[in-house]
């Protein structure tokens, strides 16, 4: 292994030595969090695996950061050195495209399929980026913050969310539309 860092805070130094000012590091309760530009995504994952002994791929997911785009986050772990790493990057909302991590961590394939389906992030070079969880013909990406929760408008929600919504006992309050649902949308528009 090349460039083996000493235990502790020297992990951040190893990242800075390898990538310079193009990355950011932050100590978190879960371990070191490293922010990398999208063009260094695969190189950063390879560095974590090969140079920092992070051979255990735990998960990959997306986060909708509204106007800032989508964050893609990976959690990896070193069984030998017992350190956690969160590696994250951000892709723009208009063209959310990122190189696949499957060449570095084969276990990323399922996670990238889910993230593509739920957030709309396209993983270039993925061997089989087909829908995983949603029914055929589903339109949209349900984990995006601008996704309309149609079921909350089309039919009553099956449980009281606010005092008085249960239908028995206390007086009912004015029904409030769920967040993100336009006023002119739904059966009562």
Task: Give 154-174 pLDDT, tens digit per residue.
Answer: 666 566 566 555 555 555 555
d(CA 106, CA 97): 19
- The predicted pLDDT at position 148 comes to 78
Beta strands in the chain (DSSP E): 24-28, 31-35, 56-64, 70-78, 83-91, 97-99, 122-124
**Number of domains within the chain:** 2
- Within-domain flag for 58: yes
Question: Taking the complete model, does pTM exceed 0.95, yes or no?
Answer: no
Task: Give 33-78 pLDDT, tens digit per residue.
Answer: 999 999 999 999 999 999 999 999 999 999 999 999 999 999 999 9
d(CA 121, CA 188): 33
Which range marks the domain in which residue 59 is found?
Answer: 10-124
* Mean pLDDT, residues 119-139: 94
> In this structure, are 53 and 109 located in the same domain?
yes
d(CA 94, CA 128): 23
């Amino acid at each position: 292994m090349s460039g083996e860092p000493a235990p502790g805070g020297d992990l951040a130094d190893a990242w800075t030595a390898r990538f310079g000012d193009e990355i950011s590091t932050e100590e978190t309760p879960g371990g070191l969090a490293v922010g990398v530009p999208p063009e260094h995504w695969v190189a950063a994952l390879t560095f974590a695996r090969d140079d920092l002994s992070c051979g255990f791929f735990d998960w990959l997911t997306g986060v909708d950061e509204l106007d800032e785009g989508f964050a893609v986050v990976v959690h990896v772990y070193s069984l030998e050195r017992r350190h956690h790493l969160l590696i994250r990057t951000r892709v723009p909302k208009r063209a959310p495209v990122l190189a696949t991590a499957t060449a570095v961590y084969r276990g990323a394939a399922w996670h990238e399929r889910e993230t593509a389906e739920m957030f709309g992030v396209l993983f270039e070079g993925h061997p089989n980026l087909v829908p995983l969880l949603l029914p055929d013909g589903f339109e949209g990406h349900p984990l995006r913050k601008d996704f309309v929760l149609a079921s909350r408008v089309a039919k009553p929600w099956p449980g009281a969310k606010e005092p008085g919504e249960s239908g028995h006992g206390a007086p009912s309050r004015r029904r409030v539309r769920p967040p993100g649902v336009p006023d002119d949308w739904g059966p009562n528009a």
